[in-house]
Amino acid sequence: MDFELNEGQAVVQDALLGMFADYRALPTGACGFFEPAPELDRMLEESDFFSLALMEGYGALDAALFAYEAARLPFLVEVGASALVAPLLGEGGLPRPIALADDRGGAIRNLPGARTLILLEDGVAKVASLEGAEIETLSSVLGYPFGKLANPDALPTRTLGDGSGAALAKWWRVALAAEGAGLLQAALDATVDYVKQREQFGRPIGSFQAIQHRLAVCAQLVSGCRWLALRAADSGSESEAAVAALYVQDQMRHVVNDLHQFSGAIGLTREYPLHLWTYRLKALQGELGGIVAQADAAMGVFSGETA
């Protein structure tokens, strides 16, 4: 095992972080419920970052690191479905952004603006082009564009082969976990900065042990989320993917609530960026069946494994 980036990974990381440098600064003024970054999206696509998982010498772990780092930005770029899910289903090069859904008639995250939809339906993966599809944009506080297909049953789909449903669920879980871990880390970092500056009772609120201990617990949980997500990406194990998604969905409730608590009323405003991470997390919390479905999947392959 090696928990540090290898040489190739460090090169990719440096290139990515260089590209992200102009997007670290928070949007000024009142933000939306999410902040798109079309120029960054275009640069990433032109630089072929979404094909990382299929490049020689690279793989799913590198794509997961990409999803993790992108999620730390206060801007929204669709990475998980494009960089992890589609290529690892053997569907690299699909028009993107890509939306994922397990209910074609429901509210679908990232659907407005998406050019491809990957569906988990009847236990298999199906791919649909969204060119010409009528999409109704929904109004949601959760930090992604949500939309609904106007005529879901009329959408033509291409069904992938046997085992594609399990593969889709697996990589979707990895993508969800990696993105969730990045969002959690960004929200934690912002809150740690805030409690060092915000003074009450004549001292920074971050000096109170009541807050320190809870933030320390958050740091532990967030770190666990990251390593579980990256391990699952590296191994490609269905069990580890389910565990990673389960842990992220399970612990994000605790972390998000604490981070909002420590940010007080400013954390409720849209001029402060906390919601750009935490309300995306809330969107991910129940995705793909939430903790009940992830636990069911994790426990299905639990028995008889090595320590």
Partner 1 sequence: MEFAWSPEQQAFRERVRSFLRAELPADWTDIASQSPGSLAVTNFSLEFCPKLAAAGLLVPHWPVEYGGAGATPWEHFILGEEMWRMGEPRGPQYYNVNWLGPSIMKYGSAAQKDEHLSLIAAGKAIWCQGFSEPSAGSDLAAMRTRADAVDGGYRINGSKIWTSYASLAEYCFLLAKTSQGKAGVSVFLLPMSTPGIEVHKIPSVVGDGDIHEVFFTDVFAPADCLLGAEGQGWEIARYALHFERVGIPRYALARRVLEEIVATLDREGRFADAHVRTRAGQSYAICESARMLVYRVLDQRAKAMPQSAETSIARYAVVQAERTVAEFALDFLPEAMRGIGQKLIDTHHKRAITAGIAAGAAEIQLNLIADQLLHLPRA
**Residue ranges in contact with partner 1 by CB under 8 A:** 1-6, 9, 61, 65, 192, 195-196, 203-204, 206-209, 211-213, 215-217, 219-221, 223-225, 227-228, 230-231, 234-235, 240, 242-243, 246-247, 250, 291-292, 294-296, 298-299, 302-303, 306-307
Q: Buried b vs exposed e over 79-113: b needs ≥16 C-beta within 10 Å?
A: bbbbbbbbbbbebeebebbbbbbbebeeebbbbbb
Between residues 119 and 221, which has the closer beta carbon with respect to partner 1?
221
End-to-end CA distance of the chain: 16
User: What's the closest the beta carbon of residue 132 comes to partner 1, in angstroms?
Assistant: 40
Q: Compare residues 82 and 294 and give the one whose CB is closer to partner 1.
A: 294
Instruction: Give the HSE-up count for residue 74: Cα atoms under 13 Å, Cβ half-sphere.
Output: 22
Q: How far is the CB of 49 from partner 1 (least distance, A)?
A: 17
CA–centroid distance for 142 within its chain: 13
The minimum distance between CB 211 and partner 1, in angstroms, equals 8
Q: How far is CA 41 from the centre of its chain?
A: 15
Least Å distance, CB 159 to partner 1, is: 29
- How many residues in total does the chain contain? 307
CA 55/CA 60 separation, integer angstroms: 10
- Residue 230 CB partners (closer than 8 Å, separation 6+): 61, 64, 65, 68, 178
Q: How far apart are CA 177 and CA 104, in angstroms?
A: 22
Which CB, 83 or 117, lies closer to partner 1? Answer: 83
Question: From the CB of 94, what's the least distance to partner 1, in Å?
Answer: 27
Distance between CA atoms of residues 53 and 65, nearest Å: 11
Choice between 25 and 216, CB closer to partner 1: 216
CB closer to partner 1, 151 vs 209: 209
Can you tell me the distance from the alpha carbon of 170 to that of 84, in angstroms, rounded to the nearest whole number?
Answer: 10
CB of 161 to partner 1, least distance (A): 27
Please name which of 151, 70, 72, 10 lies closest in space to residue 82, comparing C-alpha atoms. Answer: 70
Residue with smaller CB distance to partner 1, 28 or 303 = 303
Distance CA 114, CA 135 (A): 10
Of the pair 36, 264, the CB lying nearest partner 1 is at 264
Nearer to partner 1 by C-beta: 51 or 235? Answer: 235
- In the bound complex, what is the minimum distance in angstroms from residue 3's beta carbon to partner 1? 4
User: Dihedral, CA atoms, 64, 67, 69, 74, nearest 10 degrees?
Assistant: -160
Quote the least distance from Cβ 165 to partner 1, whole Å. Answer: 20
